[in-house]
Amino acid sequence: MTKAELPFAITPLNASNNRALPYKELDEHRLIGMRISSQHGTELPWEFLQAGKMVKYHPHSQFIINNHLRKQAALDGLGITWTAKADVEKELASGELVELLTEFAITYDSFYLYYPSRKGHSNIFKLIVDALKY
% of the chain at pLDDT higher than 90: 3
pLDDT grade for 123, boundaries at 50, 70 and 90: confident
Phi-psi region of 77 (alpha: psi -120 to 50; beta: other; left: phi over 0): left
Q: What is the mean pLDDT of the chain?
A: 77
53-72 pLDDT, tens per residue? 888 888 888 988 888 888 89
CATH number, domain of 52, equals 3.40.190.290
Parent domain of 63: 3-133
pLDDT of the residue at 25: 78
Domain count, the chain: 1
User: What integer pLDDT is reported at residue 126 of this predicted model?
Assistant: 77
The whole-number pLDDT of residue 14 equals 59
Q: Do 57 and 48 contact (CB within 8 A), yes or no?
A: yes
Residue of 85, 87, 59 lying closest to 72 (CA atoms): 87
